[in-house]
């Protein structure tokens, strides 16, 4: 009962019934004929499909007795999810308009927005695609602000929710790649700084022109000293 997948399930179930020419068993276009063996067999098939696609917690509330037809069961399940529509609309609308991305991925954030939109449609409060896009941009993480501006500037022209999702997903990939490259550069720079510098050991001439000796003394030189400890003249 806490699931927001009713709309998706209902669409799937109607399509399944249409595939086998059984829609009349749930939409009421044909009156029930329990005495007709063919009709009863088809209705049993539809009811068994309810049992395999609906959670037990929902069936426990929707089922009444063994004589319940597929249409009765369909309407009972629909009533459970459409009950208290106005109260649901208040909570769903608040969740929809206050939703922010935070640390969620673009896929998680967009998926949640779409789920809330579907739930609002189920309770009689459909959201236009342009409203969905604008609300999506409102709650984005600030690091997507440039892409959000691009989408907002083109929203009157062509940008749909699906297109906005694609643009944000591409931006997320670019940001992740840039961060990876930046981290690699920092790591290489750190390794370079921490490695021992190559050069002469003790006895090398210092920049001031003195030859460093092992005994700690320093002798004046005219720049001809070397690491090999050459003779002084």
3-state SS string over 50-64? HHHHCCHHHHHHHCC
Q: What would the pLDDT profile of 121-140 be if each residue is shown by its tens digit?
A: 888 899 999 899 999 999 99
pTM above 0.85, yes or no: no
Residue bearing the bigger pLDDT, 223 or 192 = 192
Mean pLDDT across the stretch 3-13? 82
Sign of CA dihedral 97, 102, 108, 110: positive
Kindly state the average pLDDT of the residues 9-38. Answer: 92
Q: Which of 44-58, 81-95, 171-185, 194-208 has the lowest mean pLDDT?
A: 194-208
What is the distance, to the nearest Å, from the Cα of residue 26 to the centroid of all Cα atoms in its chain?
35
137 closest CA partner among 101, 90, 93, 95? 101
Looking at per-residue pLDDT, the higher value among 226 and 176 belongs to 176
* CB environment 11-30: b (16+ within 10 A), e (fewer): eebeeebeeeebbbbbeeee
Q: Are 219 and 213 in contact (CB under 8 A)?
A: yes
pLDDT above 90 for 180: no
pLDDT on residue 196: 57
């Amino acid at each position: 009962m806490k699931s927001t997948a009713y709309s998706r399930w209902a669409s799937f179930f109607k399509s399944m019934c249409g595939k086998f020419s059984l829609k009349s068993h749930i939409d009421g276009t044909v009156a029930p004929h329990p005495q007709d063996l063919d009709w009863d067999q088809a209705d049993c098939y539809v009811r068994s499909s309810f049992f395999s696609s609906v959670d037990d917690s929902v069936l426990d509330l929707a089922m009444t007795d063994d004589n319940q037809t597929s249409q009765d069961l369909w309407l009972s399940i629909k009533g459970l999810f459409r009950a208290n529509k106005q109260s649901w609309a208040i909570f769903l609308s608040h969740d929809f308009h206050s939703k922010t991305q935070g640390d969620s991925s673009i896929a998680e954030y967009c998926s949640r927005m779409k789920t809330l939109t579907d739930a609002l449609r189920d309770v009689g409060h459909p959201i236009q695609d342009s409203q969905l896009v604008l609300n999506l941009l409102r709650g984005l993480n600030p690091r997507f602000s440039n892409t959000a501006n691009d989408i907002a500037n083109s929203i009157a022209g062509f940008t749909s929710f699906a297109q906005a999702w694609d643009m944000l997903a591409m931006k997320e990939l670019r940001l992740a790649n840039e961060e990876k490259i930046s981290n690699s550069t920092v790591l290489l720079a750190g390794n370079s700084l921490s490695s021992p510098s190559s050069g002469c050991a003790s006895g090398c001439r210092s920049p001031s022109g003195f030859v460093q000796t092992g005994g700690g003394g320093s002798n004046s030189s005219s720049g001809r000293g070397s690491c090999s400890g050459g003779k002084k003249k």
